[in-house]
Amino acid sequence: CGVFGVIGVADAANFVALGMHALQHRGQEAGGIIVHDTEKGFNSAHRFGYVRDNFTKASLMETLPGSLSIGHVRYSTAGSKAAVIRDVQPFFGEFSMGGAAIAHNGNLTNADQLRRELIEHGAIFQSSSDSECIIHLMARSFQKSHADRIADALRRVEGAFSVVAMTRTKLIGVRDPLGVRPLVLGRLGDNGYVLSSETCGLDIIGAEFVREIEPGEMVVIQDGKIQSSRPFGETGSRFCIFEHVYFSRPDSIIGGRSVYETRLQIGVELAREAPVEADLVCPVPDSGTPAAIGFSQESGIPFALGITRNQYMGRTFIEPTEHIRNMGVRLKLNVNKALIKGKRVILVDDSVVRGTTSRKIKEMILDAGAAEVHFRIASPPTAWPCFYGVDTPDREKLLAARMTEDEMRDWVGVDSLKFISLDGLYRAAGAAQGRNNACPQYCDACFSGEYPVAPSDQLAKGFEM
Ligand code: 5GP
Ligand code: SF4
Ligand code: MG
């Protein structure tokens, strides 16, 4: 998901809509905006579909006046996969000290237990979302300010959260103790501040990047002033390495590093680790493109656009059902036959999850008359599910959980299939010495099976680490 918030500018909702549009790659199912205006109070709109199809309509934006606003773009990782508008954030609650709204990116790993406990104590849930627990936990806190109640609530939850919240007068941002999901702070105009999942959300509205919210940090912004605190005490840092590989936009800056540069370097590392003789290096668009450029640069094999993507389709993986996902590859991608015929082709993609994409693309490339097909994958084998906000399927459905690299090569049906090593990925992401196995710099649980936060709901359901 993507979260965004603005304080201290007229018509804040317009900026929030633009920020959400820039974060649309983080969630395409639905979006929501909440605003507060000193005269008109709180107002909100929650809609299915793209931001540009909903939140640019003057008639809708006129219902969202105010100088303080937050928004959320949704990608369902927890809660119902069916389209239910009640699951669309931000969520709002009335408290003794006034209303407050929250938008959450990430996944809470103890939400089932919390929900059960809260319902037993009288909470009435509106949605199937894990994030709603935060509102109910706030309601049960005895703290006097919203911010303290949010801190209380977040001390009870486990897992990954980047939260953007608002009250009548404050914009609040918090990152979980390990900072698994991103969140950045920007400045807008003389008095305005912005919180965004990624820096590309600042760029679109001309906001100036100030800094990242740190892992375990809470910021409370009011009247042009920022108060920072550490509600969880001293914490470490385990940012999601898959944000660098796939999830974030390539024009975003994370941890002082360009996502594009990291992806390019992944291609360079891959070309060193798994070289192969071939005529062309082709990306699987769009997510494989920067790595393919790096692979081509390092290997000297020409880069070519052998596969064209239909620009009017969304990301296949984000479509929530298996059926749509299966259709997706052909609806979205087509091979340039004139270019591919008779060639030995290296295809670079960001990841293999179920293997559906790779297998379909191999078919299309062979149909087009390729002489050889070699897959190079910009992440290590995805052998474990993510419980922190990326929608990976159950372990049994992950190709790499069931097969060795050679078995995957044969199952996909290509001449070779190689993944970048975990160390190679760390080097590409800026860790010169590779992964520090005693104390890894990133979360890489989907590749290593080392979960930095125990997924307690899953363990209770029988998941074995
Ligand atoms: P598969 O077809 O192997 O199940 O999925 C791999 C494809 O899904 C890749 O082309 C990758 O770009 C795409 N993808 C889209 N969203 C995600 C995501 O959230 N996680 C992963 N691992 N891959 C994704
Ligand atoms: Fe990111 Fe993988 Fe960790 Fe999930 S398990 S947070 S996708 S690195
Ligand atoms: Mg892809």
What are the DSSP calls for 443-456, one per residue?
A: E-HHHH---SS--H
Active site residue 1: yes
**Cα(366) to centroid(ligand 3), Å:** 19
Q: Mean pLDDT throughout 210-218?
A: 98
**Cα(160) to centroid(ligand 2), Å:** 10
| Nearest atom of ligand 2 to the alpha carbon of 385 | 5
pLDDT tens digits, 73-131: 998 765 556 578 999 999 999 999 999 999 999 999 999 999 999 999 999 999 999 99
- The yes-or-no verdict on residue 314 having pLDDT over 90 is no
- The yes-or-no verdict on residue 321 having pLDDT over 70 is no
Would you place residue 315 in the very low, low, confident or very high pLDDT band (cuts 50, 70, 90)?
low
**Cα(329) to centroid(ligand 3), Å:** 9
Pocket of ligand 2 (CB under 6 A): 180, 240-242, 386, 388, 390, 443-446
Which run of H or of E encompasses 366? helix 356-367
Q: Which residue among 81, 317, 327 has the greatest number of ligand 1 atoms within 8 angstroms of its CB, and so is best to mutate?
A: 317
Domain annotation for the chain: domains and CATH numbers: 2-237 (3.60.20.10), 258-435 (3.40.50.2020)
Q: Which residue among 105, 350, 392 has the greatest number of ligand 1 atoms within 8 angstroms of its CB, and so is best to mutate?
A: 350
| Nearest atom of ligand 2 to the alpha carbon of 447 | 2
Would you place residue 328 in the very low, low, confident or very high pLDDT band (cuts 50, 70, 90)?
low
Q: Minimal CA–CA distance to 305: which of 290, 327, 284, 328?
A: 284
- The yes-or-no verdict on residue 313 having pLDDT over 80 is no
Q: How far is CA 430 from CA 14, 100, 255, 376, in A?
A: 36, 39, 10, 21
**Cα(104) to centroid(ligand 1), Å:** 22
SS (H, E, C) 281-299: EEECCCCCHHHHHHHHHHH
Contact, 163 vs 154, CB < 8 A?
A: yes
Dmax (CA) for the chain in angstroms is 71
- CB within 8 Å of 316: residues ≥ 6 apart: 324, 325, 328, 329, 332, 357
Q: Which residue among 259, 395, 435, 443 has the greatest number of ligand 2 atoms within 8 angstroms of its CB, and so is best to mutate?
A: 443
pLDDT tens digits, 420-460: 999 999 999 999 999 999 999 999 999 999 999 999 999 99
pLDDT averaged over every residue in the chain: 94
